[in-house]
Amino acid sequence: MTAQKEAPVKITSKDIAQEFLSRYDTFLFDCDGVLWLGSHALPYTQEILSLLKQLGKQLIFVTNNSTKSRLAYTKKFASFGINVKEEQIFTSGYASAVYVRDFLKLQPGKDKVWVFGESGIGEELKLMGYESLGGTDPRLDVPFSAAESPFLVDGLDKDVNCVIAGLDTKVNYHRLAVTLQYLQKDTVHFVGTNVDSTFPQKGHTFPGAGSMIESLAFSSNRRPSYCGKPNMNMLNTIVSAFNLDKSRCCMVGDRLNTDMKFGIEGGLGGTLLVLSGIETEERALEISADYPRPKFYIDKLGDIYTMTKL
Ligand SMILES: O=C(O)COP(=O)(O)O
Ligand SMILES: [Mg+2]
């Protein structure tokens, strides 16, 4: 892993904040733990994003959260008073659908995808013309019975050639059991949205997508192809979509092994770790083989706004 040799700089004053802002033209924002915790916006999220827009900065949102589609995210942003276009948003669900289309080259209208996860994955697949099964189908909410599951009684769907697994807050034995049946076929590809072991919410840390996907990996004795951060395919898609000068880009995130790794291994000019989600100051400063150190860190994103404005 490319190590960040210099110790991370903590943004603690107006001068450091302004110097930080002047270095970059484009900011790539992680969402959970940076902009909000579930339905609670973090302080001054709306203000810092509009300040950056006023300064002429380009804003891109890169989330490992696959539960919502990009369109659904525009509505979440709007609920916080933030106007964001679908093209500015990249989710791990979208990245997984792109992988199915461009790398696995599954055929829309013919190949189907079994989804372990929420609506964000199936909606992105549908936009690309793929039929998906499983996912939010309410019949999966029923307690599992091998003899009665409508997904098993008539046999597996022969057109399913891929499983995409992501965060599912309705995870249960029925979903795990049927997904495993598809993964036991070695012709079925195994795609994971994101590795995040945990998921930050207001006042709590809950299980993340990785904890569910790894359960499927363990039972099937297979490894998934993970598509979200820190996978470089996701970064390459973004860099070419916007023709970005990577040296003038900064990745802002709350997790070292996804967000900071994504920015550092992707050769972006900067990385900013916020301590409002998963990580602590101690871990930000630690030298570890498992995750890189960020270039900058700050308690929370909104502090940049309060430091420069108030
Ligand atoms: O859903 C997750 O696990 C994390 O999402 P994030 O990348 O926006 O922090
Ligand atoms: Mg995050």
Q: Quote the pLDDT of residue 5.
A: 73
The answer, yes or no, to whether residue 4 has pLDDT greater than 80, is: no
Q: From CA 156, how far away is CA 152, in angstroms rounded?
A: 6
Ligand 2 centroid–CA 254 distance in Å is 5
Is the minimum distance from the CB of 194 to ligand 1 under 6 angstroms? Answer: yes
Q: Does residue 2 surpass a pLDDT of 70?
A: no
Of the listed ligands, the closest to the CA of 196 is 1
CA of 198 to the centre of ligand 1 (A): 9
What was the pLDDT predicted at 310? 67
Q: What is the pLDDT of residues 100-144, one digit of tens each?
A: 999 999 999 999 999 999 999 999 999 999 999 999 999 999 999
CA distance 216 to 277: 26
124 contacts 101 by C-beta, under 8 angstroms: no
With a 6 Å cutoff on the Cβ, whether 123 touches ligand 1 is no
User: How high is the ipTM of this complex?
Assistant: 0.95
Which residue shows structure tokens 């270039």?
Answer: 295
Q: In this predicted structure, what is the pLDDT of residue 191?
A: 98
Q: Ligand 1: does its nearest atom lie under 6 Å from the Cβ of 192?
A: no
Give pLDDT tens digits for 150-194. Answer: 999 999 999 999 999 999 999 999 999 999 999 999 999 999 999
Asked whether residue 1 carries a pLDDT value surpassing 60, the answer given is no
Q: In which band, very low, low, confident or very high, does the pLDDT at 22 lie, cut at 50, 70 and 90?
A: very high
Q: How far is CA 310 from CA 44, 52, 82, in A?
A: 12, 15, 21
Taking the C-alpha atoms of residue 98 and residue 197, their distance in angstroms, rounded to an integer, is: 23
Share of the chain above pLDDT 90, in %: 97
Q: Is the CB of 132 under 6 A from ligand 1?
A: no
Distance 176 CA to ligand 2 centre (A): 25
Kindly list the structural domains of the chain, giving each domain's residue range(s) and its CATH number in brackets, ordered by start.
9-64+230-308 (3.40.50.1000), 93-226 (3.40.50.1000)
Whether 199 is in the pocket of ligand 1, judged by its Cβ within 6 Å, is yes
What confidence score (pLDDT) does residue 49 get?
98
Residue 7: which residues within 8 A CB-CB, separation 6 or more? 285, 293
**Are 21 and 304 in contact, with CB atoms under 8 Å apart?**
yes
Q: How far apart are CA 186 and CA 98, in angstroms?
A: 21
What's the CA-to-centroid distance between 246 and ligand 2, angstroms? 21
**Residue 62 near residue 29, CB atoms below 8 Å:** yes
Check pLDDT > 90 for residue 195: yes
CB 273 within 8 A of CB 250: no
Cis before residue 292, ω within 30 degrees of 0? no
Q: What are the two backbone dihedrals, phi and then psi, of residue 173, each rounded to the nearest 5 degrees?
A: -65, -35
- Ion ligand 2: residues, CB within 5 A, are 30, 32-33, 254, 277
| Pocket lining: 63 vs ligand 1, CB cutoff 6 Å | yes
What is the structure's pLDDT at 286?
95
Choice among 15, 25, 32, 259 that is catalytic: 25
Query: What 3-state class would DSSP assign to 111?
Result: coil
Mean pLDDT, rounded, of the chain: 97
pLDDT in tens, 53-97: 999 999 999 999 999 999 999 999 999 999 999 999 999 999 999
Read off the pLDDT of residues 205-224 as tens digits, 9 standing for 90 and up: 999 999 999 999 999 999 99
φ and ψ at 111, to 5 degrees?
-75, 140
Give the nearest ligand 1 atom to 259 CA: 7
The verdict on whether 254 is a catalytic residue reads no
Q: What is the CA radius of gyration of the chain?
A: 20
